[in-house]
Amino acid sequence: MKDLNVVIAGSAGEGIQTIGEILSHTLCRQGYSVFAWQEYESRIRGGQNSYSIRVGEEPNNAPLLSADILLALNEGAAKKYEGLLKEEGVLISQNKGTDGMIAIPFDEIAKEEVGGGIYANTVAVGALINVLGVDLETLNAVLERTFSEKGEEVLKANYKAAEKGFERAERDCGDRCPWTLPPRDTRHAFISGNEAIPIAAAYAGCRFISAYPMTPSTGIITALAKAQERFGVFAEQAEDEIAAINMALGAGYGGARAMTATSGGGFALMVEGISLAGMTETPLVIVLGQRPGPATGLPTRTAQGDLLFAINAGHGEFPKMVLAASDPKDAFQKTVRAFNMADKYQIPVILLTDQLLADAHYSFRDFENFDNPVYHLADPSQIEEYKRYQLSPDGISPRLYPGQSGHLVCVDSDEHDEEGHITEDLSGIVQAMVEKRLAKFQKLRSEVNPPEEVYSEDVEFILVGWGSSRPAILEGIELLKQEDIRAGMIHFTELWPLPEYHFPEGVALWTVENNATGQLARLLRSEFGLSFEGTLHRYDGLPLTGEYIRSQIHAQHRNV
């Protein structure tokens, strides 16, 4: 079957997320792959927002903007989003409007036939299930899981609401709803980035997280706080981001694998702490959920605008690592890798996500086979005279934590000697300590994974991207291929230090980024001396899509 895209639109507070989540889980239970994402304004009530559900037989985790089915919960939503509806698409609305629209008064049905307007959203889901050709039994199973804790009366009311919506759509759809999604014997993992990262952190041995809530990273500390006893992770909401990173540093110094999570301005406040981690050589994982800036910017929208900020965060010269996950499965893997690498090199590791990756739900058939946590603490029984900053060829000193043994573990944010005592020996140990830290950078670089290559030798150009843009770039390549335009992809998820890598010669390179200035392009120019034939940017707060990439290629380079 060809992918279908269902867009649910309405004001904040009208329950579009509830409708979207119930419908998504119903379609997953029916055996289909679902990619669900939402775009919403930064307000508690009002505005007009949307929740999009892409459903197909095979996982295709790239956002679509056009809609096969548009469910509008109010007139304003219908006006704002009707431009997304395909020519052959179906608009479902509460009120009668243009010809071809299916009008189903969800509120009226809920109040008069179910028992209250609170059930209007379930009436809407029941109608959508009928339009998509899914049986009511599958929806009821999801309703039971969702509402059973609220009591038998509430559950029965939701069953009835779903049935009323289903029957009303059955009556009004007619030939306008040609879709049918019969049950399939296929199961997918259905997970978001903010759901994958906390589980991965616990799996990786994280025992402490401190953070201050900030969209879109809030879900990480919320998930770990809810499951802290089950996961064995101590979660602390700090008074601000400065306190959060310094608490995590203290936990790391004390021997626990520790992390913090933030976004935009919160990361700006953490920068001094990153330098402190560099000087004290304390392992630390920092999740940076990107959103458009500067300042508060568009706090509920998406962007890839903090790449260079992350790479350059911190004063002085010290090694750090910057990773950027491409999807929730990769976010799981990168989280484990972040803890392992922070532990091995005793450095801060920054994991970049963004609002799309954090909040969107992706489908995977094989959400498994992850690296195991690897620990690098020294064995105190093998150490007689302990030096926290002992000089070594690769710059990595044996690491103990206070209380682990009788050894004194001394650290200092000033320049220090091997024992950790402050020093001003400018012609001796000061230079040695600088060189020690930079030696780690060189060894770290040898372990950085190269970018993913998806291209054959006869491509006309290669799209170079990073992070969450991967699914959209791959779909863009497929769309161009249908027009006999051959394109490839080079995609980075490990961005600092950059690995030794040789870009293909004799082929045009384009960068594709969810920012305005081409931060990856600037980085690759400075590190590899590359020149790009084209740059493709999106910076309106919406994610990159395959169709956007295809259209921009045509607009900027009509002769390809």
CA 182, CA 180: separation in Å to the nearest integer? 6
Q: What is the pLDDT of residues 86-135, one digit of tens each?
A: 999 999 998 776 667 899 999 999 999 998 999 999 999 999 999 999 99
pLDDT at res. 99? 67
pLDDT at res. 97? 66
Nearest Cα neighbor of 84 from 63, 62, 61 is: 63
| Total Cβ atoms within 10 A of residue 178 | 10
CA 438, CA 505: separation in Å to the nearest integer? 31
pLDDT at res. 317? 97
- Determine the residue type at 560: V
In a 10 Å sphere around its CB, with 0-12 CB exposed, 13-18 middle and 19+ buried, how is residue 295 labelled?
exposed
CA 487, CA 560: separation in Å to the nearest integer? 10
Tell me the two tokens of residue 451.
Answer: 């970018």
pLDDT at res. 175? 83
For 110, which DSSP code? I
For 113, which DSSP code? I
| Total Cβ atoms within 10 A of residue 290 | 30
Nearest Cα neighbor of 78 from 98, 52, 54 is: 98
CB 84 within 8 A of CB 7: yes
| Total Cβ atoms within 10 A of residue 75 | 12
CA distances from 77 to 64, 83, 89, 117, 366 (A): 18, 11, 16, 19, 37
Per-residue pLDDT of the chain (560 residues; tens, 9 = 90+): 789 999 999 998 899 999 999 999 999 999 999 999 999 999 888 889 999 999 999 999 999 999 999 999 998 999 999 999 999 999 999 877 666 789 999 999 999 999 899 999 999 999 999 999 999 999 999 999 999 999 999 999 999 999 999 999 999 988 889 999 999 999 999 999 999 999 999 999 999 999 999 999 999 999 999 999 999 999 999 999 999 999 999 999 999 999 999 999 999 999 999 999 999 999 999 999 999 999 999 999 999 999 999 999 999 999 999 999 999 999 999 999 999 999 999 999 999 999 999 999 999 999 998 999 999 999 999 999 999 999 999 999 999 999 999 999 999 999 999 999 999 999 999 999 999 999 999 999 999 999 999 987 789 999 999 999 999 999 999 999 999 999 999 999 999 999 999 999 999 999 999 999 999 999 999 999 999 999 999 999 999 999 999 999 999 875 55
Nearest Cα neighbor of 490 from 432, 438, 450 is: 450
CA 141, CA 29: separation in Å to the nearest integer? 9
pLDDT at res. 98? 66
CA 206, CA 203: separation in Å to the nearest integer? 7
pLDDT at res. 94? 85
pLDDT at res. 559? 54
